[in-house]
Chains A and B, each alone.
Chain A
């Protein structure tokens, strides 16, 4: 493998995928079980369970819609079977209409139009089977890291996170950006207390203002709840791992952002319009963050953990990086890379970062992550309004 290159799938819209999934995309919770049945029947398909897609309004409707479209549009997805019920707010045909703009294969199946669950499963499976064979005929081509959007995330953090794995991810982030790629920083909640450091690195005043604004909005939501945010974040596991306050967790989390200028602050599930370091406004909740970043186009996610989490995405390989060596041994079946050697003084941040870059090359070229092997297909949308 050439350094800082990978073998990817070039899509009709010019973007590059690192996987070649056929996605069964249920736009409504009522269709998720039928979607799951299709993935049981047809090799090479993925889907996910969720509880959204109906009786949502305004910005909350839009955010869920943007997430569905973004997940389908992600270049890791070859083609999409959009599966709806028929009467829901988030109409399958509207989502499919947006997805068609990527010029990838997109088809719609509606449970009510097909005459019930079994006929919808049969119809969806027939379409999916055809797409999977077409997908399998596409070959990978050699690509540069400039084609990559890397999502960065920390979950189940401990006190080592900010000393080992997160700074190593920061090194990787700088390296990917130097190669012309993009790195997404997210989890706004877990940047509360570190926002001044990021705002100072903003490419212009507008970006700095938005960085401060999303932090203020997130903190205000907690203030309106009338409780100490520490009752929910840092979590009991974070606290057991030595993190005492949200600010401490945030300052460690922010080291994932490396040292380059902050180019853009994105809304949840929004695709970057700029290369380089971007910040997506998401909660700290791992699954909602992961879903938002992959809907924004991240083909691969670097996920650091000190407590150990199995989290994975249905469409994007998630490289799990342990912050301490004890975890790497204890949960070896879930961990891909160990950064605990930094704590022991056996390796430098740069050395671990170089190992992660090599892992990115391999995983982007087809090597499976532990979360993929264990079918950890997590999906959760950050809801910003009530259900009616």
Chain B
């Protein structure tokens, strides 16, 4: 059986990066600083794209490189594709000026 490889950069991250294209419903072998785990991806993940390594509630921080890269714009299940449809940036948001 082929291993689909993915990488978590820092232990505190809640996303993994696909190091090759991973078809939906396949197991990804995810490594993080030498520790390896398995996560079943829910969607097909293109090379370089991300999936959630834990459930992420709407409004929560998304972490990669051990740092905040944005926040969840909806609830995100473990194994789901993470991209512009469910992550929003928090910087340079001129569209939000004067709102809230």
> Hey, which bits of chain A sit against chain B, CB under 8 A?
158-160, 162-163, 192-194, 197, 219, 222-230, 233, 239, 241-242, 244-248, 251-252, 306, 324, 326, 343-344
Contacts and interface: CB of A to CB of B under 8 A. Distances in A.
B95 interface: yes
Nearest to B85: A244
A228 B67 contact: no
B94 A244 contact: no
Interface in B42-100: 46-50, 62, 64-65, 67-70, 82-84, 87-97
A257 to B, nearest CB: 13
Contacts of A223: 92-94, 97
Nearest to A222: B92
Contacts of A245: 69-70, 84, 87-91
Contacts of A162: 65
Contact of A229 (B47, B82, B89): B89
Interface of B: 7, 9, 17-19, 46-50, 62, 64-65, 67-70, 82-84, 87-97
Contacts of A159: 17, 48-50
Given A159-B17, A239-B83, A193 B91 contact: yes
Contact of A228 (B50, B65, B89): B89
A226 to B, nearest CB: 5
Which of A192, A223, A233 is packed against the most chain B CB atoms within 10 Å? A223
Contacts of B83: 239, 242, 244
Nearest to A225: B94
A343 B19 contact: yes
B89 A247 contact: yes
A233 to B, nearest CB: 8
Contacts of B82: 244
B50 A246 contact: no
B90 to A, nearest CB: 7
A361 B20 CA distance: 33
A244 B48 CA distance: 11
Nearest to B95: A228
Contacts, number: 100
Nearest to A323: B48
Nearest to B70: A245
Contacts of B65: 162, 251-252
A233 B96 CA distance: 16
Contact of B68 (A192, A247, A252): A247
12 contacts: A158-B48, A159-B17, A197-B67, A219-B91, A228-B92, A229-B94, A239-B84, A245-B84, A246-B92, A248-B64, A251-B69, A326-B47
Given A222-B92, A226-B94, A248 B70 contact: yes
Q: Which 8 A-B pairs have the closest CB atoms?
A: A229-B92, A242-B48, A159-B48, A245-B89, A248-B69, A245-B70, A222-B92, A242-B49
Contacts of A326: 47
Nearest to A326: B47
Contacts of B67: 193-194, 197, 247, 251
Given A244-B83, A252-B65, A226 B97 contact: yes
